[in-house]
Amino acid sequence: MVRTRVAPSPTGDPHVGTGYMALFSYCYAKAHGGEFLLRIEDTDVARSTQQSEEVILASLKWLGLDWDEGPDIGGPKGPYRQSERLPIYQAHVQQLVDAGHAFHCFCTRERLDEMRKQQIASGETARYDGACAGLSQSEVDANLAKGLPSVVRMKVPETGICVIQDRLRGDIEIDYSQIDMQVLQKADGFPTYHLAVVVDDHLMEITHIIRGEEWINSAPKHQLLYEYFGWSMPELIHMPLLRNPDKSKLSKRKNPTSIRYYKDMGFMPEAVVNYLGMLGWSLPSGEEKFPLSDMVANFDISRISMGAPVFDVEKLKWLNGRWLRETLDDDALADRLVEWALNRDKLLEIIPLIKERVEVFSDVAPLAAFLLEGLPEISVESFAKLKTPPETTLKILQFSLWQLEQVTAWQSSDLQARLKHLADIMDVKIRDLLGPLFIALSGRPVAPPLFDSMQVLGPDMTRARIRAAIEVLGGVSKKQTKKLDAEYRGLGHKK
């Protein structure tokens, strides 16, 4: 029985890259009559949120990638949320320590930072130097008794070559000297990804791991753990990474990466999933428009091309246009539009914002238009009337964006508090701070109250519009970003 999984970390927006890996995992399983499961990798306590998990699940469902087992529906191999499996990991870590495959490490972060700096400076691969690997049992016991904070690291052979087999790339050889003595259990008792993924994939009987190319370098660690435990290794399939138009790894700075953004923009899920399938894979017939069911029916892993594809929104738009025109009759399109935004619930969100400004019904459309738009058409001139000088305008937009990226609840009142705080620490009037945002978000000189509008627009659309505005104003270079970032951090400390 083929079993695949997608294992997102609930630490942010539902990323299209997650959808991409989920799609290929789904297709592989279904094409072999197997099962596809969803596991939540929330071992990073500080960054994982319930909110994020919910949005990720909803987004994958929106794409039509249904799982057979998962945290929401359960299954025979649960729980499917790693934070609920702690005793399992701790027992396995103990097993490795007892067998001498892992050891306690008491090194401080300062020492580790210093060590890595020196290694990189002298041209070596940065990795743990093994200081604590040689500690005697009595020393370890003494340290533990004293309550010194510690982690558990895996042992790695000092010499030799590790060969990992990738279904798409064949054998990949990595020298053991390149592999770090990875931390398996953090000081807080939680496992790291590397330990949890191996234990869970085995216990959940995953047969094929489909994941991004970024994981190739840590595959030897995983393979080693499988060997230590005496388990057989699932087949590895490393997919190419999605990229920005400038060829770097797809990132929200340069491209909308949240699945929710595409939903809010009014893309059809069929088109989005079709487009993801078209990146790196093709139907033998060459037909570019295909439903998920056709992809499953024709799925052949050897048809995956390994060059990392650029995520091209233009082509996605074209594809969506085809889906809309060719598969929706007028009746179905009407249903879709209602489902998307033209519904009573949405109207009830919008009406409070515009009611006082409306005299006749026909005033509604122009007033509310910006709440249903994609990216408003703005130019440098749009910002010309502001009191703030251009440089400050740009700074306000960038700082606001950073501030808004921290917001998880996305309520009007929270947004207001955030931006008020920003205005305070920047020492500018709130109305001057809001000016640039007003234009970025509405594209108009007048519009309903900003915070309420932001709430209606939602986090993805709000951030996308601010990013677009920053681009319109010439963008922020890497160098500028660094400078602004320093200034931004400085602000926080003054107050």
Partner RNA sequence: GUCCCCUUCGUCUAGAGGCCUAGGACUCCAGGUUUUCAUCCUGGCAACAGGGGUUCGACUCCCCUAGGGGACGCCA
Residues 111-170 interacting with RNA (rule: CB under 7 A): 112, 116, 120, 123-128, 149, 151, 168-169
Instruction: Return the number of the residue (344 or 477) whose C-beta is nearest RNA.
Output: 477
Q: How far is the CB of 448 from RNA (least distance, A)?
A: 29
Q: How far is the CB of 169 from RNA (least distance, A)?
A: 4
Q: How far is the CB of 134 from RNA (least distance, A)?
A: 18
Candidate segments 261-269, 297-305, 343-351, 468-476, binder of RNA by CB under 7 A? 297-305
The tokens describing 330, both together, are 């007028």
By CB under 7 A, tell whether 248 contacts RNA. yes
- Transcribe 214-260 into DSSP letters: GGGGGHHHHHHHHHHHTPPPPEEEEEPPPB-TTSSBP-TTTS--BHH
By CB under 7 A, tell whether 186 contacts RNA. yes
Options 98, 158, 173, 391; binder of RNA; rule CB under 7 A: 173
**Among 244, 214, 194, which Cα is nearest to 16's?**
244
By CB under 7 A, tell whether 14 contacts RNA. no
By CB under 7 A, tell whether 253 contacts RNA. no
CA angle in degrees (0–180, nearest 5) for 50-55-58 = 125
The tokens describing 200, both together, are 């869970």
Scanning the structure block, which residue is given the tokens 């200081």? Answer: 131
Instruction: Return the number of the residue (11 or 388) whose C-beta is nearest RNA.
Output: 11
Letters for 389-428 (x = contact with RNA by CB under 7 A, - = none) are ----------------------------------------
Distances (CA, A) of 186 to 182, 194, 456: 10, 11, 40
- Residues 6 or more apart from 197 whose CB is under 8 A from it? 7, 41, 222
By CB under 7 A, tell whether 328 contacts RNA. no
By CB under 7 A, tell whether 3 contacts RNA. no
| Catalytic residue (one of 77, 117, 146, 252) | 252
By CB under 7 A, tell whether 47 contacts RNA. yes
Q: How far is the CB of 190 from RNA (least distance, A)?
A: 7
Instruction: Return the number of the residue (33 or 284) whose C-beta is nearest RNA.
Output: 284
Residues 319 and 288 sit within 8 Å (Cβ to Cβ): yes
By CB under 7 A, tell whether 335 contacts RNA. no
By CB under 7 A, tell whether 190 contacts RNA. yes
Residue 211 backbone dihedrals phi, psi, to 5 degrees:
-150, 175
Q: How far is the CB of 432 from RNA (least distance, A)?
A: 35
What is the distance between the alpha carbons of residues 472 and 124, in angstroms, rounded to a whole number? 42
What is the distance between the alpha carbons of residues 61 and 78, in angstroms, rounded to a whole number? 20
For the beta carbon of residue 227, count every other beta carbon within 10 angstroms. Answer: 13
Q: How far is the CB of 3 from RNA (least distance, A)?
A: 18
Burial 302-314 (b: 16+ CB within 10 A, else e): eebeeebbebeee
Options 131, 174, 296, 425; binder of RNA; rule CB under 7 A: 174
By CB under 7 A, tell whether 183 contacts RNA. yes
Options 325, 344, 493, 495; binder of RNA; rule CB under 7 A: 325
249 as an active site residue: the answer is no
Helix (H, G, I), strand (E, B) or coil at 36: strand
Q: How far is the CB of 252 from RNA (least distance, A)?
A: 13
- Longest distance between any two alpha carbons in the chain, whole Å: 83
Instruction: Return the number of the residue (11 or 412) whose C-beta is nearest RNA.
Output: 11
Options 68, 180, 235, 432; binder of RNA; rule CB under 7 A: 180
**Among 234, 228, 219, which Cα is nearest to 93's?**
228
Options 28, 103, 193, 451; binder of RNA; rule CB under 7 A: 193
Q: What is the DSSP letter of 348?
A: H
Q: How far is the CB of 389 from RNA (least distance, A)?
A: 33
What is the distance between the alpha carbons of residues 370 and 335, in angstroms, rounded to a whole number? 22
Residues 71-100 contacting RNA, CB under 7 A = none
Instruction: Return the number of the residue (247 or 495) whose C-beta is nearest RNA.
Output: 247
Catalytic annotation, residues:
252
